[in-house]
Structure 1
Amino acid sequence: MIPHSTTHHSLPGLRTTLRRLAHQLDLPVEQRARLALAVTQVAAGELGAGRSVTLHAAQEDDPKEDGGSVLTVRLRTPLAPRPPSLQDLPLPAERLPGTAAVWRLPHPQPPLPARNSTPDSTPDSGTPGTTELLEEELRAAVARADTLAEDHKRLKHELAETNSGVLALYVQLEERDEQLRRAHGQMLRELEDALRPSPVHVPGLEMAVHYEPAGTDAPTGGDLYDWFLLPDGRVHITLVDALGHGVTSTRSALNVTHAVRTLALEGHPLESIVARTDEILLPFDRELMATVLLARIDPAGGTFSLANGSHPPALLVREDGSAEFREVRGRGIGYPLPGSEQLVYDELAPGDLLVLYTDGLTESRRDPREGEQRLLEAARAHRHLPIEKIPGAIAADMHTVILHPDDTVALTVRRTREDSA
């Protein structure tokens, strides 16, 4: 094509030339409008300062497409003290050395005609005037806006329908999640019932227990208890705290309680059971570590004995409010030299309360001694409550502040008064 080159001293003349050129090349109306706005935006500073600009247009081969061509529009500002800005143009441009800006438009249809008219002359015969070209661009902009408005309306409607569907799905998922939670809760309650036997009902004693997991995401743990009647009429109580949390520690604690129950029912002496349990279980589980507290109580006379393997001491609270911890030296299962070094013997008088527990009750604030003192005070304060309320009331007092969450068992045994036996 014959190159087109004109020099301009005013923005109106530059705009007219650009629009007429774009119309003759049958460029899309929107592209024509963007080109006119972009070129005049770059040239505005120079023309406003009274300096001229040169517009050059030519058709060139497109190196990206075999047989294709591009329209190249160059704007030169030879008198500019500095290159004009090319930021935020309606039609992006690139900067070349010696040229203010260049625009490359793909596939112009007709070749450019030779130009003999001056830049600001009236259009050639048959070419629309500036007003007609502007009106055409305005109509295209309005049509584009109308199309966008319709698209926006349609998208809003689709979004509303999608939101409605998502909300319905969310409600369904919430209902399904609630069903799963209920089923999960029922399963866990059944599991806990299987793991945690009900209190032994025997004349002369009343018993209750409170269990609290370290977290709701792990409702079972390594703190377990077991209580049952021996053939001689005494009550045997086992309290176990296996190392760890969750199902693995539950399995370890179950193994310990089952082994202890078997040994106790076989008639093994209380002082030997901790060591014997270690001998039985360690060959099968070298990782097992557990503390154990064992108690034997005679319901008729109230006498009891304690064996201990590294477990927190039992608390004995007398009916008059005096209290003491009954310490027994020993080492737990999986510890070096496991076993209870001796037994401690004592007696429950009517109204006396025996509190057995795991360390989650007294170490929630990381200070066992401070925890034991608070436990002593809580047990004194609640010793006259109905037995089924005492363990939970003690745990509530102990867990007002929890800095170190852990599984917790609080188990209480109280000797009944003679007139209520």
Structure 2
Amino acid sequence: MRRWFRRPRFRRPVTADLPVSSATAGDVGGLRALLRSLCDDHGVDVELRARLVLSATFLARDHLTTEPLAVHARVAAGTTLVVAVPLRAPLDHARSFTLPLLPEATDELAAVWHLPTHTAPAGGAGAADDLGATELELVASLARTDVLEREHRKLKQELSETNTGVMAMYVELEQRDEQLRRAHAVIFRELEDALRPPPPDVAGVELAVHYAPADRDAPTGGDLYDWFVLADGTLQITVVDAVGHGVTCTRNALTVTHTIRTLTREGHPFEHLVRRAAEIDDGLMATVLLARFDPRTGELRLAGGGHPPALLLPATGEPAYLPAPGRGVGFPDPGSTEIHHSVLAPGDLLLLYTDGLVESRGDVDEGEHRLVHTAGVHAERPLGAALSAIVHDMHDVVVYTDDTVLLGLRFEGA
């Protein structure tokens, strides 16, 4: 009988009679690509693929920092794809219940999953990169979540119309709903982390971001951001706040950020980006703030769409809000009405944020005044620590809860 691994050995092979295929992943991105390729080749559903990718990444991430992983796969009975990812230590089965997709119970040094396959691809194949594949998986997961939410609402309504004798069933439903909500939170947190791009490497510029969801167990609000470097070396930052909460807002905000990125790559003028983005969907509403910064000269341009103004904390001089008036996506007559121009000096700090930062006490004017003071207190700290401290201090008293994004750009000089 042929076994899957030489080190470690399985006491009980997962399948007994079919050949094993193996492929090596050298990093997290390679592992994701390998698992997606296996799933697409055998017609595994995209939503199930997303759960496998997140679970395997979570278990194998530390292992991949020191050595490649040989992932083993086989097809059992023509209907089940069996995937095994080696681990450093036996799987903690209690901990595994927090994974989006539970592996098979085993004491061996590997995580093993059995996935149903289809005769035809289940969709999602052909994604050009990790971000594209993640978008497909997010869409599938959100669609599945929408179905589950509708089913739960329907069941709750039916239970509410019965007599008090079904109270025990209702309590059990609430417990299951809580378990489902926490399981979804794990999936969405991983997916949102994948869709929140890390800071680009820009010479002479320090970048950092702090995100605080309104609900820690449902971190899929409508506050998103995007930042990337254009071909001419300038940096563009997009901050979006879609109206509402939940997975629908996440989808809407994601649509806006990717639309603006696409329009920018196509060469549309900076001052037209908000207006052009507003043409994508009549039912979508979101505020937008765009910043384009040239690290060679310090030149800054801001274009707004109904979004709170950026705050500048100069190395010398008084802090100032930088207005960039306009109307957001989905609002009447959308687009930027005036482009802000300024030049940053070395040491200047620029803050871009969503309204959850300044509306926590329900008074925007008071919130903007406190932000100037709080940002000044922490401005000299390393940027990541400074942003976290600012959000912590601004949320010391929370009357109005909302998602919060705080993004910082410190110009260190060309």
TM-score after normalising by structure 2: 0.56
Aligned twin of 1:382: 378
Matched, 1:205 2:201: no
Matched, 1:364 2:360: yes
The Cα of 1:364 is off from its aligned counterpart by 0.4
Letter in 2 for 1:390: A
Query: Could you tell me how far apart the structure 1 residues matched to 2:186 and 2:201 are?
Result: 26
Q: How many residues align?
A: 240
Query: Could you tell me how far apart the structure 1 residues matched to 2:212 and 2:261 are?
Result: 23
Matched, 1:322 2:239: no
Aligned twin of 1:180: 97
Letter in 2 for 1:180: F
- How has the CA–CA distance of structure 1 residues 177 and 313 changed in structure 2, closer, same or farther, with 3 Å as cutoff? farther
The Cα of 1:193 is off from its aligned counterpart by 2.0
Aligned twin of 2:262: 262
Matched, 1:301 2:218: no
Query: Could you tell me how far apart the structure 2 residues matched to 1:324 and 1:308 are?
Result: 16
Matched, 1:352 2:269: no
Determine if contact 1:235/1:298 at 8 Å carries over to the other structure.
yes
Letter in 2 for 1:326: L
Letter in 1 for 2:358: T
Matched, 1:232 2:232: yes
Q: Secondary structure at the match of 2:304?
A: strand
The Cα of 1:384 is off from its aligned counterpart by 0.9
The Cα of 1:194 is off from its aligned counterpart by 1.6
Query: Could you tell me how far apart the structure 1 residues matched to 2:94 and 2:319 are?
Result: 48
The Cα of 1:187 is off from its aligned counterpart by 3.1
- Extract structure 1 runs of 4+ deviating beyond 2 A: 175-190
The Cα of 1:407 is off from its aligned counterpart by 0.4
Root-mean-square deviation (CA, aligned residues, Å) is 1.7
Aligned twin of 1:391: 387
Give matches, 1:182-197, under 5 Å. Answer: 183=100, 184=183, 187-197=187-197
Aligned twin of 2:107: none
Q: 2:409 aligns with which of 387, 410, 413?
A: 413
Query: Could you tell me how far apart the structure 1 residues matched to 2:221 and 2:395 are?
Result: 18
Determine if contact 1:321/1:380 at 8 Å carries over to the other structure.
no
Structure 1, residues 37-96: CA drift from partner, whole Å, max 9, x if none? Answer: xxxxxxxxxxxxxxxxxxxxxxxxxxxxxxxxxxxxxxxxxxxxxxxxxxxxxxxxxxxx
The Cα of 1:217 is off from its aligned counterpart by 2.6
Determine if contact 1:240/1:291 at 8 Å carries over to the other structure.
yes
Q: 1:333 aligns with which of 329, 333, 338?
A: 329
Letter in 1 for 2:383: I
Query: Could you tell me how far apart the structure 1 residues matched to 2:317 and 2:409 are?
Result: 15
Q: Secondary structure at the match of 1:244?
A: coil
The Cα of 1:178 is off from its aligned counterpart by 5.7
The Cα of 1:347 is off from its aligned counterpart by 1.4
Letter in 1 for 2:260: V
Determine if contact 1:390/1:412 at 8 Å carries over to the other structure.
no
The Cα of 1:176 is off from its aligned counterpart by 7.7
Determine if contact 1:358/1:410 at 8 Å carries over to the other structure.
yes
Determine if contact 1:224/1:239 at 8 Å carries over to the other structure.
yes
Determine if contact 2:287/2:329 at 8 Å carries over to the other structure.
yes
Query: Could you tell me how far apart the structure 2 residues matched to 1:360 and 1:326 are?
Result: 18
Q: Which has the larger radius of gyration?
A: 1
Determine if contact 1:316/1:325 at 8 Å carries over to the other structure.
yes
The Cα of 1:179 is off from its aligned counterpart by 4.0
Q: Secondary structure at the match of 1:359?
A: coil
Aligned twin of 1:289: 285
Determine if contact 2:189/2:220 at 8 Å carries over to the other structure.
no
The Cα of 1:365 is off from its aligned counterpart by 0.4
Identity %: 54
Aligned twin of 1:217: 217
TM-score after normalising by structure 1: 0.55
Query: Could you tell me how far apart the structure 2 residues matched to 1:332 and 1:231 are?
Result: 27
The Cα of 1:229 is off from its aligned counterpart by 0.4
Unaligned runs of 5+ in 2: 1-91, 101-182
Q: Secondary structure at the match of 1:237?
A: strand
Task: Report which stretch shifted further, 396-405 or 185-194.
Answer: 185-194
Unaligned runs of 5+ in 1: 1-174
Give matches, 1:96-135, under 5 Å. Answer: none
Letter in 2 for 1:338: P
Determine if contact 2:312/2:351 at 8 Å carries over to the other structure.
yes
Determine if contact 2:234/2:293 at 8 Å carries over to the other structure.
yes
Query: Could you tell me how far apart the structure 2 residues matched to 1:191 and 1:356 are?
Result: 23
The Cα of 1:318 is off from its aligned counterpart by 0.5
Determine if contact 2:242/2:287 at 8 Å carries over to the other structure.
yes
Determine if contact 1:242/1:253 at 8 Å carries over to the other structure.
yes
Structure 1, residues 12-59: CA drift from partner, whole Å, max 9, x if none? Answer: xxxxxxxxxxxxxxxxxxxxxxxxxxxxxxxxxxxxxxxxxxxxxxxx
Determine if contact 1:264/1:273 at 8 Å carries over to the other structure.
yes
